[in-house]
Amino acid sequence: MTATTTIPHPPAFWLRDNCPCTDCRDPRNGQKLFQITDLPAGLAIGSAREARTPLGEPAREIVWAPDGHRSLYPLAWLDAHAPEREAPHPGDGRTEADKELWAAADLRGRLPQAHWAAYSTDDAVRIHALDGVRRLGFVLLRDVPLRDRQVLDVARTFGFVRETNYGELFEVRVEADPNNLAFTGARITPHTDNPYRDPVPTLQLLHCLANEASGGDSGLVDGFHAAALLRAEDPAAFEVLTRTPVEFVFADARTELRAQRPLIETDALGRIREVRFNNRSTGTLHHPAEVLDAFYRAYRSFAALLLRPELQLDFRLTPGDCLVFDNTRLLHARTAFAESGARHLQGTYADLDGLASTLAVLRREGGAR
Ligand code: OGA
Ligand code: ZN
Ligand code: ZN
């Protein structure tokens, strides 16, 4: 049996759009050289035959009608991309479909973590750590050097620092005139950071330099899991939170940032993709009264759910710990602490696309999962 009969022809425009020839793609970078509108109407496979690539791999040659263009597709490529074997709606790695949702007990004894020395020198360890961020939403790096601005070097191991009005990094410690409750000893309930930015920073890092205060313990909540629970328990509330734009605001003497996004954002197929939640920076909502009523009912349900103790992973950052987490999915919290005790974190923001790229390249280079 020949491959021509075992692999059906995929849709003509898709196949032609993927022609690898040097007229269609710049061989130096693989970028496409034509517009989709350049392809002739009525495009169809004129003839197909078994062939070989210049490297001798089995291939299929197609001569297209009506323009006579010739394409040569390696059979291995056709097989790997066969449309008939695709899941109906593959995820992009960012939605609940591609995550392992967790409650606190699910992570007991299997915290995603890595030691800095191994993370810095061993690709397999780095792959495991970055995969933890993709799959579970975070990784805890241990024994990171206790150096000022080290958090920036941590971010640069997988991506790019996102500078903001707080600077390249922010200091989380008690300040005399705080522009944010984070810079006091107050308890901070589960939240995502900077929902008033659009685009929101998709990754956050917190590097612990000192934690001698009594209190100041950390918590993480899987916001995707919480949103999925809300959908199961109160589907109407879930709907409301995906559809109601919420204004988030941050303002100080030099800055005024505003963004309007729903608390739960879904993709085109309704899958949970982003959670934003921050009571400190939620602004005044402007909607008709009945929308406000429905929103506040749903908002309270979701907020109560986020405070369920079984959802929150509790731990204490010790000096040298650096938490790297998905700020579009996980909520973070801390207990109150005595302002007399020394507690100092340095934080910064970065983005998931850079982390995903680093992970993909490491995997391409042959590291194990
Ligand atoms: C923050 C924050 C947590 C902490 O600065 O955004 O949430 O542990 N800090 O102090
Ligand atoms: Zn071509
Ligand atoms: Zn925060």
Q: How far apart are CA 47 and CA 44, in angstroms?
A: 9
Looking at the chain, list the stretches that DSSP marks H as alpha helix, in order from N- to C-terminal side.
3-6, 12-17, 75-80, 116-121, 123-136, 150-156, 223-233, 235-243, 289-306, 352-364
Q: Which atom belonging to ligand 1 lies closest to the Cα atom of 216?
A: 8
Instruction: Look up residue 107 and give its DSSP letter.
Output: G
Q: Give the rounded percent of residues in the chain with a pLDDT score beyond 70.
A: 97
CA of residue 361 to ligand 3 center, whole Å: 30
CA of residue 35 to ligand 1 center, whole Å: 48
User: Ligand 1: which of 138, 169, 172, 204 to mutate, most ligand atoms within 8 Å of CB?
Assistant: 172
Q: How far is CA 347 from CA 211, 231, 319, in A?
A: 14, 32, 13
Within 10 angstroms of residue 82's Cβ, the number of other Cβ atoms is 12
DSSP 111-174: --EEEHHHHHH-HHHHHHHHHHHHHHSEEEEES----TTHHHHHHHTTS--B-BTTBSSEEES-
Residues 111-170 have pLDDT tens digits of 999 999 999 999 999 999 999 999 999 999 999 999 999 999 999 999 999 999 999 999
Residues 2-54 have pLDDT tens digits of 444 455 679 999 999 999 999 999 999 999 999 999 999 999 999 999 999 99
Residue nearest to atom 1 of ligand 1 (CA): 182
Q: Which atom belonging to ligand 1 lies closest to the Cα atom of 347?
A: 5
Q: Looking at the domain that runs over 2-81, which CATH code has it been given? A: 3.30.2020.30
CA of residue 148 to ligand 2 center, whole Å: 54
Specify whether the CB–CB gap between 319 and 210 falls below 8 A: yes
3-state secondary structure of 45: strand
Q: Which atom belonging to ligand 1 lies closest to the Cα atom of 332?
A: 7
Q: Which atom belonging to ligand 1 lies closest to the Cα atom of 182?
A: 5
Domain 96-366 has CATH 3.90.850.10: no
Looking at 193-311, list the stretches that DSSP marks H as alpha helix, in order from N- to C-terminal side.
223-233, 235-243, 289-306
Q: Give the rounded percent of residues in the chain with a pLDDT score beyond 90.
A: 92
The ranges assigned to domains in the chain are 2-81, 96-366
Residues 196-211 have pLDDT tens digits of 999 999 999 999 999 9
- Which ligand lies nearest to the CA atom of residue 175 in the structure? 1
Residues 313-364 have pLDDT tens digits of 999 999 999 999 999 999 999 999 999 989 999 999 999 999 999 999 999 9
